[in-house]
Amino acid sequence: MAAELAQIEQAEIAEIIDGKGIADSIHAEVKNEAEIFNRTYGRFPGLAFILVGANPASQIYVRNKGKACAATGIYSVTDTLPEDITEATLLARIDELNADDTIDGILVQLPLPKHINEEKVIERISPAKDVDGFHPISLGRLMIGADTMFPCTPSGILELLKRSGVKTEGKHVVVVGRSNIVGKPVANMLLQKKKGANAVVTICHTGAPDVAVFTRQADILIAAMGSPESIRGEHLKQGVVVIDVGMNRIPDATTKSGTRLTGDVHFASAREIASKITPVPGGVGPMTIAMLLKNTVKAAMLRKNE
């Protein structure tokens, strides 16, 4: 009896979507593709990172991306440039990388120091090497449903849904957050009339008087507003699939460091209502890097087939 009850309780708790495991299988695919590319063209796909200044979080991100390249057979170089570099010098470095035939992808780690215009920098990267998918040409192509370099976190989300068996066709997806990096592109990708998309999409944001009015209608909820644990179980519909893009460091006296990483969703209460949920860390985060590697191989192949 106790065992049966435990089973029933178990069934009511959301299944965890294993982003780390799915990202690992994508890494294996990339490794294979990079080897085939090397056998065919005599070099591995190449990715250049530009890191300006000494922002500790950016340093960690770039280091982790570089490690993922090394593990999957992608050649990578990191340019570490001083905080006070001029915009003109940075743009000139991008021009050099645009012209470098061994480099297929260029990633300028954001944010940049205040004296540098981010838009200008993003627009200087050749769209053919725009593995971040942030160039207006890439985003414009995304919006009209054409093939392009899709930004890494949004394509990681679509891939997570696909590989964990979540159908999006005809479903109501509610995206919370309207950033250019996640909210706007993921909403546009999901509404395209394509396999793995074709959803009815609502985007809500801080301008909404009551965000919960929208989140309670979601069959699939994508939380990407950067506000720690602010969506709770009571804001959700029974059986919803929850994708938590948040990556917030909050105080926690019970840990050794005195802080912990958490998402935009309150995991424990959401897990009692949802059918599937991504953890933080180990959900969307690893997928962002996996899709960057995929984009680099894609850029390399496209440049060869031009």
| Of 111 and 239, CB closest to ligand GUN | 111
For ligand GUN, what does the binding mask look like between residues 60 and 99, x meaning CB under 6 A? ----------------------------------------
Number of residues that bind ligand GUN (CB under 6 A): 7
**C-beta separation of 242 from 193 below 8 A:** no
User: What residues between 266 and 295 interact with ligand GUN by CB under 6 A?
Assistant: 288
Answer yes or no: 294 catalytic: no
Q: Which of 104, 130, 132, 219 is catalytic?
A: 132
Question: Nearer to ligand GUN by C-beta: 57 or 268?
Answer: 57
65 is a catalytic site residue = yes
Evaluated on CA atoms 23, 28, 33, 38, the torsion sign reads positive
Shortest-Cβ-distance residue relative to ligand GUN: 110
Length of the chain: 306
Nearest to 129 by CA among 306, 305, 296: 296
Q: Is 108 in the site for ligand GUN (CB under 6 A)?
A: yes
132 is catalytic: yes
Interface characters, 117-136, with ligand GUN (x: CB under 6 A)? ---------------x----
User: Residue 105 is which amino acid?
Assistant: G
Q: Which of residues 141-170 bind ligand GUN (CB under 6 A)?
A: 152
> By the criterion CB under 6 A, which residues form the site for ligand GUN?
107-110, 132, 152, 288
